Amino acid sequence: MRNKGFWFVGVIVFLWVATVPGTGRAISVPDTIQLNSPGKLYEPVSFNHAKHILLTKECSYCHH
């Protein structure tokens, strides 16, 4: 019975770590990225990714 309790807690912790953005995954994002860098119609735009992360705190809004 006690082993089932540890197993259940382990599954809950695993699911929590898997669903929290960036937790448990060695995610590395650049501070600044260039949008439309190979573009032909418009100039490339510098996007401050670090500032965006601080403001939104949830990657799934933009990255599905």
pTM exceeds cut of 0.75: no
Q: What is the CA radius of gyration of the chain?
A: 19
Sign of the C-alpha dihedral computed for residues 52, 58, 61 and 64 taken in this order: positive
Q: What is the mean pLDDT of the chain?
A: 74
Q: What percent of the chain has pLDDT over 90?
A: 0
Task: With CA atoms as reference, report the closest residue to 33 among 51, 49, 12.
Answer: 49
CB contact set of 59 (below 8 Å; sequence gap of 6+):
21, 22, 53
Mean pLDDT, residues 3-29 taken together: 66
| Residue with more model confidence, 48 or 58 | 48
Task: With CA atoms as reference, report the closest residue to 54 among 29, 25, 17.
Answer: 29
Q: What is the pLDDT of residues 20-43, one digit of tens each?
A: 655 545 567 778 888 887 878 888
